Chains A and B, each alone.
Chain A
Amino acid sequence: MASQGNTGHEVYYVPESSKLAVCATIGLVLTIFGAASGINDGTFGDPNESTNSWFIFWVGLAFFAATLFVWFKTAITEHLAGKNSAQLKRSYVIGMQWFIFSEVMFFFAFFLALFYIRWFAAPWLAGEGDAGRSNYLLWGDFSYSWPLMQTPQDAIGGVANQVMANNGVFSGPERSMAFPGFGELFKWLPFYNTVILLTSSVTVHWAHHALLHDDRKKFHQWLTVTVLLGVVFVGLQILEYYEAYAHYGLTLETGVYGTTFFMLTGFHGFHVAMGMIMLLIQLLRSVMKGHFTKDDHFGFAASSWYWHFVDVVWIFLMLVVYIF
């Protein structure tokens, strides 16, 4: 490849026409349509009538996944063929950085919801401040505490409760997932998840460090450890959800505590799973194909940025969902 100098410039590689985008569109649209109609069947449909919505969803998803596989494979092949100039590699770096920023903003929406509910909405329902003056008319016996163990609907009881239940029943949980105090720290599952995820951020850094020193063996070791920690994290979170549903009476439908708890930790867990798959793919690329060199390993670097990002989100979750 020509180097970038004062006289000549590298040619920026613009791929020939490509079928990837159209295939990805077909896959995505089938996936989304299948999901939308499947969800609608569940809520509004006749339970005795079988539909093929979820079949469309799975076919679409499989096709979409296959397309993405080919897409990444194409990009990697082009890279290995030396088509990607330093400038084009920077485009990938910028793309990944801004993609992570967009993910940050997605989580921001849910944190915004949590803060709004905890600082404003729920205290107002309990009669706090000027905005709470309608409390005695609507939600007389409701008092605010977080985690919200008793919903406004629970608090009013009687006929009003019956009327309201026509729009859905929101009854508070029996127990919450909140921090139980230092005495019970070691019986508290999120403590282990915190240790696991923070450790995995360190191990992925060590893997990166090993790669920078061309120590392939240590790179594989630490990356494997990172992926396994990710698996354990997701496993423990599934266990936590099982506990919540089976023994805590804590579900999506137990008012706004259950809502924010499951949505925030759920989206985070989904992102951990995605990050884990990304890192696993990088591991397989290195083990099976010998990809990456010490100064050229964007696929791994991007995945590790993503991994650090889910780690940072977890720290915020720990603080505002579990502890405070």
Chain B
Amino acid sequence: MGAHGPAKGLSRWLFTTNHKDIGSMYLWFSFAMFLLGGSFAMIIRAELFQPGLQIVEPEFFNQMTTMHGLVMVFGAIMPAFVGLANWMIPLMIGAPDMALPRMNNWSFWILPPAFALLASTLFMEGGGPNFGWTFYAPLSTTYAPPSVTYFIFGVHIMGLSSIMGAINIIATIVNMRAPGMTYMKMPLFVWTWLITAFLLVAVMPVLAGAVTMMLMDIHFGTSFFSAAGGGDPVLFQHVFWFFGHPEVYIIILPGFGVVSQIIPTFSRKPLFGYDSMVYATASIAFLSFIVWAHHMYTVGMPIAGELFFMYATMLIAVPTAAKVFNWITTMFKGSLTFETPMLFSIAFVFLFTVGGFSGLMLAIAPADFQYHDTYFVVAHFHYTMVAGAIFSMSAAVYYWLPKWTGKMYNETMGKTHFWVSFVGFNLTFFPQHFVGLAGMPRRIPDYNLMFADFNMMSSIGAFIYGASQLLFLFNVVRTITHGEKIDDPKVWDGAHGLEWTVPTPAPYHTFTTPPEVKESEAHG
């Protein structure tokens, strides 16, 4: 043990217990899923390029919207951040590896078969899941294609992977911090992941419960979601969104953490309001458990429920705004430079705030009666999912890629990727606010002529954004093969934290004995 390097060939990856190897596998897997989910999005946008049905059947269109959502949420975004957690948390807290290394490998390896199972449903009789990524009953029970059973078990495996990954992250952070790395000295990325992992352990089992109820209703004659037996289809929505709302914070909190690492580095100032960042993250996590029914204002809840969920939802704006103010104040009077990670991070702050504001509009129950199930909702959550989660993920890759590979990416290509993404993204999703407010429903393959112009803009933007991701892939591969070698442990001159004290590229094993944490290396 200790100094040995990686094994050779395929067995290195199949049998590894190394957090860096497993992190890399998560990252590559999630990028593959990102391209798969992205290609589904391209089919959707191609069909919506102009009114009328031109490319796909409506039935297949439904499968595309469903699979796009499922693959992006469970296959691209979540594993991407788990990959980052694997790579960075042990480096940031001075641990030799993750707490439970073999289980770590298992958490990863059950994911590819789960998604193979999910993707294979597209080729089954009756087609793949076509009920939307939220799989509301009775569309997903009484009226679902037979392949729904494989979907259900696929979700079970993904949930198992997430729970094991989250338990591993909690055990690592609670138990493996180097002496002196107290909780309030941890980098914010570690904090946000600790809270995210808690949310995962709390709500992934509830999702497992929801799909189990579906399985029983479909195959074993139970009546959870059937009013004829005394159940209620709305029950499905309650159980689903009890998982689903914390899930959106599971997706975004690690992104908050990434941005909280990057902005201080390129502002050359410590993060403003570290303590309040920690408390804000914890408040958001707590509130995320008591707002789920704001996804269901139109199902006929009692007025007391509408009001409770409306006010509770609006409360989330308070800690979220605290975070945005802290990021801006960190930049204030800083010595700013605009390398690619910083560009993505600033865009994150700006665009995520746009998504936050539209979220605030949607939180108002009477107004939501107008917006519900329109493209306004689609615009809102893509501003948080894409400009939030994916932009912060891109920022993270550019920020830590030199540490991972010992090579510097090409700044011009990085910036090109950023600007093309930025323009493509906004061109895709900003017009969707307008068509949504004008009444265009989501999840339809055809639409009224009056929405034609904005939809064409949206589709062009989507193709640009899609193409920019190929540029991203090219940049990363090119950096690995042809990047300029660097050996400065610090990489960025404003960087703080333990991950910048190990050599560049990070050796296969780091911190086999815990480092001493100096005041200057704590969160910055």
**In the bound complex, do residue B16 and residue A170 qualify as a contact, i.e. CB atoms below 8 Å apart?**
no
Chain A CB within 10 Å — which of B210, B219, B230 has the most?
A: B230
**In the bound complex, do residue B221 and residue A21 qualify as a contact, i.e. CB atoms below 8 Å apart?**
no
Whether, in the assembled complex, A40 has its beta carbon less than 8 Å from a beta carbon of chain B, the answer is yes
**Distance in Å from the Cβ of A290 to the closest Cβ of chain B?**
26
**In the bound complex, do residue B231 and residue A256 qualify as a contact, i.e. CB atoms below 8 Å apart?**
yes
**In the bound complex, do residue A25 and residue B170 qualify as a contact, i.e. CB atoms below 8 Å apart?**
no
Contact with A along B220-239 (1 / 0, CB 8 A): 11111011111110110011
A251 to B301 alpha-carbon distance, docked (Å): 31
Instruction: Pick from A26-34, A226-234, A296-304, A310-318 the stretch touching chain B.
Output: A26-34
A44 to B210 alpha-carbon distance, docked (Å): 22
**In the bound complex, do residue A36 and residue B149 qualify as a contact, i.e. CB atoms below 8 Å apart?**
yes
**Distance in Å from the Cβ of B344 to the closest Cβ of chain A?**
33
**In the bound complex, do residue A109 and residue B239 qualify as a contact, i.e. CB atoms below 8 Å apart?**
yes
**In the bound complex, do residue A17 and residue B7 qualify as a contact, i.e. CB atoms below 8 Å apart?**
yes
A110-B170 in contact given A18-B17, A105-B203 (Cβ < 8 Å): no
Chain B CB within 10 Å — which of A28, A44, A251, A259 has the most?
A: A259
Whether, in the assembled complex, B478 has its beta carbon less than 8 Å from a beta carbon of chain A, the answer is no
Contact partner, A167, options B17, B201, B228, Cβ 8 Å: B228
Whether, in the assembled complex, A113 has its beta carbon less than 8 Å from a beta carbon of chain B, the answer is yes
A94-B170 in contact given A15-B17, A21-B105 (Cβ < 8 Å): yes
A112-B205 in contact given A22-B14, A91-B100, A259-B222 (Cβ < 8 Å): no
**In the bound complex, do residue A91 and residue B99 qualify as a contact, i.e. CB atoms below 8 Å apart?**
yes
**In the bound complex, do residue A22 and residue B209 qualify as a contact, i.e. CB atoms below 8 Å apart?**
no
Whether, in the assembled complex, A14 has its beta carbon less than 8 Å from a beta carbon of chain B, the answer is yes
A263 to B203 alpha-carbon distance, docked (Å): 19
Interface residues of A in 133-156 (CB under 8 A from B): 138-139, 148, 151-153
A307 to B219 alpha-carbon distance, docked (Å): 31
Residue ID in chain A nearest B213 by CB atoms:
A113
A188 to B430 alpha-carbon distance, docked (Å): 64
**Distance in Å from the Cβ of A71 to the closest Cβ of chain B?**
8
Contact partner, B97, options A8, A12, A122, Cβ 8 Å: A12
Interface residues of A in 202-253 (CB under 8 A from B): 251-253
Residue ID in chain B nearest A150 by CB atoms:
B230
A9 to B374 alpha-carbon distance, docked (Å): 58
**In the bound complex, do residue B228 and residue A22 qualify as a contact, i.e. CB atoms below 8 Å apart?**
no
Residue ID in chain A nearest B232 by CB atoms:
A121
**Distance in Å from the Cβ of B332 to the closest Cβ of chain A?**
39
Interfacial chain B residues near A99, Cβ < 8 Å:
163, 167
Interface residues of B in 166-224 (CB under 8 A from A): 166-168, 170-172, 174-176, 179, 201-206, 208-210, 213, 215-216, 218-224
A170-B229 in contact given A17-B7, A18-B102, A113-B213 (Cβ < 8 Å): yes
**In the bound complex, do residue B113 and residue A25 qualify as a contact, i.e. CB atoms below 8 Å apart?**
yes
**In the bound complex, do residue B229 and residue A259 qualify as a contact, i.e. CB atoms below 8 Å apart?**
yes
Whether, in the assembled complex, A87 has its beta carbon less than 8 Å from a beta carbon of chain B, the answer is yes
Contact partner, A117, options B17, B156, B235, B512, Cβ 8 Å: B235
Contact partner, A39, options B100, B219, B234, B300, Cβ 8 Å: B219
Whether, in the assembled complex, B29 has its beta carbon less than 8 Å from a beta carbon of chain A, the answer is no
Interfacial chain A residues near B222, Cβ < 8 Å:
252-253, 258-259, 262-263
Whether, in the assembled complex, A106 has its beta carbon less than 8 Å from a beta carbon of chain B, the answer is yes
Contact with B along A18-59 (1 / 0, CB 8 A): 111110110011001101110110111000000000000000
Contact with A along B78-115 (1 / 0, CB 8 A): 00000000000000000111011111011001100100
**In the bound complex, do residue B218 and residue A43 qualify as a contact, i.e. CB atoms below 8 Å apart?**
yes
A25-B110 in contact given A9-B513, A105-B201 (Cβ < 8 Å): yes
A99 to B202 alpha-carbon distance, docked (Å): 10
Interfacial chain B residues near A253, Cβ < 8 Å:
220-223
**Distance in Å from the Cβ of A267 to the closest Cβ of chain B?**
9
A14 to B172 alpha-carbon distance, docked (Å): 13
Interfacial chain B residues near A168, Cβ < 8 Å:
221, 223, 226, 228-229
Chain A CB within 10 Å — which of B2, B7, B117, B205 has the most?
A: B205
Residue ID in chain B nearest A67 by CB atoms:
B106
Whether, in the assembled complex, A131 has its beta carbon less than 8 Å from a beta carbon of chain B, the answer is yes
Whether, in the assembled complex, B242 has its beta carbon less than 8 Å from a beta carbon of chain A, the answer is yes
Interfacial chain A residues near B482, Cβ < 8 Å:
none
A88 to B7 alpha-carbon distance, docked (Å): 24
**In the bound complex, do residue A17 and residue B219 qualify as a contact, i.e. CB atoms below 8 Å apart?**
no
Interface residues of B in 438-472 (CB under 8 A from A): none
**In the bound complex, do residue A32 and residue B210 qualify as a contact, i.e. CB atoms below 8 Å apart?**
no
**Distance in Å from the Cβ of B346 to the closest Cβ of chain A?**
36
A256 to B235 alpha-carbon distance, docked (Å): 12
A33 to B102 alpha-carbon distance, docked (Å): 23
Interface residues of B in 135-185 (CB under 8 A from A): 142, 146, 149-150, 152-153, 156-157, 160, 163, 166-168, 170-172, 174-176, 179
Interfacial chain A residues near B231, Cβ < 8 Å:
117, 121, 255-256, 259
**In the bound complex, do residue A98 and residue B1 qualify as a contact, i.e. CB atoms below 8 Å apart?**
no
Contact partner, A105, options B15, B17, B205, B223, Cβ 8 Å: B205
**Distance in Å from the Cβ of A18 to the closest Cβ of chain B?**
5
A17 to B202 alpha-carbon distance, docked (Å): 30
**In the bound complex, do residue B223 and residue A256 qualify as a contact, i.e. CB atoms below 8 Å apart?**
yes
Chain A CB within 10 Å — which of B168, B174, B221 has the most?
A: B221
A35-B232 in contact given A29-B113, A94-B174 (Cβ < 8 Å): no
A258 to B230 alpha-carbon distance, docked (Å): 10
Contact with A along B465-503 (1 / 0, CB 8 A): 000000000000000000000000000000000000000
A98 to B202 alpha-carbon distance, docked (Å): 9
**In the bound complex, do residue A116 and residue B238 qualify as a contact, i.e. CB atoms below 8 Å apart?**
yes
Residue ID in chain B nearest A109 by CB atoms:
B209
A105 to B201 alpha-carbon distance, docked (Å): 8
**Distance in Å from the Cβ of B291 to the closest Cβ of chain A?**
15
**In the bound complex, do residue B12 and residue A17 qualify as a contact, i.e. CB atoms below 8 Å apart?**
yes
**In the bound complex, do residue B157 and residue A32 qualify as a contact, i.e. CB atoms below 8 Å apart?**
yes
Whether, in the assembled complex, A103 has its beta carbon less than 8 Å from a beta carbon of chain B, the answer is yes
A113 to B211 alpha-carbon distance, docked (Å): 13
A39 to B150 alpha-carbon distance, docked (Å): 10
Residue ID in chain A nearest B236 by CB atoms:
A113
Residue ID in chain A nearest B167 by CB atoms:
A98
A121 to B227 alpha-carbon distance, docked (Å): 8
**In the bound complex, do residue B11 and residue A17 qualify as a contact, i.e. CB atoms below 8 Å apart?**
yes
A102-B99 in contact given A44-B146, A94-B174, A167-B142 (Cβ < 8 Å): no
Interfacial chain A residues near B218, Cβ < 8 Å:
43
**In the bound complex, do residue A12 and residue B176 qualify as a contact, i.e. CB atoms below 8 Å apart?**
yes
A contact set with B: CB distance below 8 Å: 8-9, 11-22, 24-25, 28-29, 32-33, 35-37, 39-40, 42-44, 71, 87-88, 90-92, 94-95, 98-99, 101-103, 105-106, 108-110, 112-113, 116-117, 120-122, 124-125, 129-131, 138-139, 148, 151-153, 164, 167-168, 170, 251-259, 262-263
For this complex, 25 residue pairs linking A to B, each with C-beta atoms less than 8 Å apart, are A11-B512, A12-B96, A14-B17, A17-B11, A25-B109, A25-B113, A29-B110, A29-B157, A32-B157, A35-B153, A39-B149, A98-B167, A102-B202, A106-B206, A109-B209, A117-B235, A121-B231, A124-B232, A168-B221, A168-B223, A252-B222, A253-B223, A256-B224, A259-B231, A262-B222
List 16 additional contacts besides A12-B512, A92-B100, A255-B230; criterion CB under 8 Å.
Answer: A15-B17, A18-B17, A18-B102, A29-B113, A36-B149, A98-B201, A105-B204, A105-B205, A113-B213, A113-B235, A121-B230, A121-B234, A153-B229, A259-B231, A262-B222, A263-B222
